[in-house]
Amino acid sequence: MTVAVKAVHGKPEAQALSAALGELTAAFGNRVVTSQAVREQHANTITWLPNEPPDAVVFPQSTEEVQQIVRICAKHGVPIIPFGAGSSLEGHVNAPRGGVSVDFRDMNKVLAVHAEDLDCVVQPGITRKTLNAHLRDMGLFFPIDPGADASLGGMASTRASGTNAVRYGTMKDNVLALKVVLANGEVIDTARRAKKTSAGYDLTRLLVGAEGTLGIITELTLKLAGIPEAISAAVCQFPSVEACCNATIQTIQSGIPVARIELLDALQVKAVNIYSKLDLPETPMLLLEFHGTEASVAEQAERFGEIATEFGGGPFNWTTRAEDRTRLWEARHNAAMACFALRKGAQIVATDVCVPISRLAECVAETQRDIATTGFIAPIVGHVGDGNFHVALLVDMNDDAEVTRAKDFCGRLVERALAMDGTSTGEHGVGQGKMKYLKAEHGPVVLDVMAGIKRTLDPQNILNPGKIVAVD
């Protein structure tokens, strides 16, 4: 039964919080942690958003234990913030009203693999690299690859994407079903393992991208893909970022089933060379990967080479050697860390937008001009096959004026994307950081609908409050 609890500034009263923590400690013992260091590690540590730690961190080991945590917190009106690997970028794991962080570190198992059906069932704390290591000997892999070794629960909650999205889709396309604990402690299964269904509302898609505000994911059923017979990776230099984007557009429109097509501007290539000890020409370039049979991979590479030539690209170098491919993509995935070499002592603030692919070249070019005008060091990298690109601002967080200029730049970037019929966030999610842009993107009626769904599923507003949409 839900008990009404008075709150001060949206936080539970000290008595209610103390009672909840007492019950949690009695149930979970030393798996309830209240040390300041651990609590701060479970709040935002990546951007200029403040670090807002929870009052405690709990480490459940089963769906039943998550149910127990939710019921205790609901009884006392205490917020609950799900936590995966903590790699999200928009303050998703902050606890602005205090409460309990539920860390899924110990729920990291592969529960079932149905190789013949190309799907698996996993717990939310397992990371994508661990899952793929488990699947490798079966000739299968999970293709969504956001770069960071994120947890699968977190990837679903933020509707993650990544380098393979152009061929394999994003998380919303690769989650078949979820097991979810609701705000009242009830458990639901959103779907079955069938690849398609028209049986009622699509609750799976509603909860993928909900960032833990509507329910807490405790199991995921995921689509898998077969490891291709042949894989080749390629690097191609271009005279400008616009040429890279236009070659990408032509590649997609030509129907070449490219698996990965990633943009690095000249500044990002410089950073990658320093960090990963490569000797790539410091010009804008595309990194590509082709999947298929040996014959089809060769054909795809040849067709792309013809397109690249049309836009002044070249030389076009490709390889099927696994070690060369691994080195190339490790360098791409380390692109963010590489940026630190460009400005010592600065912090990276990463932001992203996504636009229709026909507007990609225009959006990137305008963004580069904006960067030049403001004087920031800000490399650009992107999953350009689906119109999504990222800007890594190197910001001196001790300079208030510079932080303000960086925030203004991010606002202009979003406005630019929306003006081109794009979105404020391609794959980073909303969290706290991008809530302010949703009204311009969706309009007030859509936000009212979202708030209505939130109030229905979480009437006490205890599930990751202060994220996506305001309800109070």
pLDDT digit string (tens) for 359-369?
999 999 999 99
pLDDT band at 180 (very low <50, low <70, confident <90, very high): very high
- 140 and 158 inside one domain: yes
CATH of the domain at 23: 3.30.43.10
- The pLDDT of 449-455, averaged and rounded, is 97
CATH of the domain at 283: 3.30.70.2190
How many Å apart are CA 123 and CA 153, to the nearest integer?
A: 7
391 secondary structure, DSSP code? E
- 100 and 158 inside one domain: no
In a domain, 295, yes or no: yes
- 78 and 40 inside one domain: yes
In a domain, 446, yes or no: no
Residue 6 predicted with pLDDT over 80: no
Residues 215-253 have pLDDT tens digits of: 999 999 999 999 999 999 989 999 999 999 999 999 999
Residue 169 predicted with pLDDT over 70: yes
| Predicted local distance difference test score (pLDDT) of residue 333 | 83
| Predicted local distance difference test score (pLDDT) of residue 5 | 43
In a domain, 469, yes or no: no
**Helix/strand/coil for 61:** coil
Residue 375 predicted with pLDDT over 60: yes
Beta-sheet pairing, 388-395 with 175-181: unpaired
Residue 456 predicted with pLDDT over 80: yes
421 secondary structure, DSSP code? T
**Helix/strand/coil for 13:** coil
- 317 and 357 inside one domain: no
How many Å apart are CA 96 and CA 312, to the nearest integer?
A: 51
Length of the chain: 472
- Give Cα separations from 255 to 164, 167, 258 (angstroms): 16, 11, 9
CA nearest neighbour of 147 among 328, 284, 332, 317: 332
- 122 and 82 inside one domain: no
- 352 and 324 inside one domain: no
Residue ending a domain, choose from 105, 134, 169: 105
Q: What percent of the chain has pLDDT over 70?
A: 98
How many Å apart are CA 288 and CA 188, to the nearest integer?
A: 40
**Residue predicted with more confidence, 141 or 3:** 141
Residue 460 predicted with pLDDT over 70: yes
In a domain, 455, yes or no: no
Beta-sheet pairing, 285-292 with 230-237: antiparallel
80 close to 463: Cβ distance less than 8 angstroms: yes
In a domain, 467, yes or no: no
CATH of the domain at 193: 3.30.465.10
**Helix/strand/coil for 408:** helix
404, exposed or middle or buried, with CB in 10 Å at 0-12, 13-18, 19+?
Answer: exposed
| Residues spanned by the domain of 284 | 230-334
CA nearest neighbour of 381 among 273, 255, 272, 232: 272
151 secondary structure, DSSP code? B
322-333 and 266-276 helices, crossing angle to 10°: 110
**Helix/strand/coil for 93:** coil
Edge-to-edge strand ranges of the sheet holding 110-114:
110-114, 119-122, 216-223, 175-181, 187-189
Residues 324-344 have pLDDT tens digits of: 888 888 888 888 889 998 999
In a domain, 80, yes or no: yes
Q: Is the peptide bond before 315 cis (omega within 30 degrees of 0)?
A: yes
- 234 and 206 inside one domain: no
| Predicted local distance difference test score (pLDDT) of residue 10 | 65
| Distant-in-sequence, close-in-space partners of 369: CB < 8 Å, separation ≥ 6 | none
**Residue predicted with more confidence, 299 or 320:** 299
- 163 and 194 inside one domain: yes
- 244 and 312 inside one domain: yes
CA 340, 342, 344, 349 dihedral sign is negative
Hunting for tokens 């836009």 — which residue is that?
311
Number of structural domains (the chain) is 4
- 121 and 177 inside one domain: yes
CATH of the domain at 400: 3.30.70.2740
Mean of the per-residue pLDDT values of the chain? 93
Residue ending a domain, choose from 296, 314, 334: 334
**Residue predicted with more confidence, 177 or 279:** 177
- Alpha helix stretches (DSSP H) within 420-462: 438-442, 444-457
| Predicted local distance difference test score (pLDDT) of residue 17 | 96
How many Å apart are CA 354 and CA 382, to the nearest integer?
A: 10
Helices first, then strands: H and E counts in the chain: 17, 20
CA nearest neighbour of 205 among 168, 176, 167: 176
Residue 7 predicted with pLDDT over 70: no
- The pLDDT of 70-81, averaged and rounded, is 98
What DSSP letter does each residue of 256-320 carry, written as one string?
A: ---SEEEEE-HHHHHHHHHHHT----SS-EEEEEEEE-HHHHHHHHHHHHHHHHHTT---EEEE-
Torsion of CA 30, 32, 36, 42, to 10 degrees: 130
| Predicted local distance difference test score (pLDDT) of residue 377 | 96
- 248 and 310 inside one domain: yes
Residue 156 predicted with pLDDT over 70: yes
**Helix/strand/coil for 383:** strand
In a domain, 367, yes or no: yes
Residue 1 predicted with pLDDT over 50: no
Residues 15-60 have pLDDT tens digits of: 999 999 999 999 999 999 999 999 999 998 778 889 999 999 999 9
In a domain, 442, yes or no: no
Radius of gyration (Cα) for the chain, nearest Å? 23
**Helix/strand/coil for 356:** coil
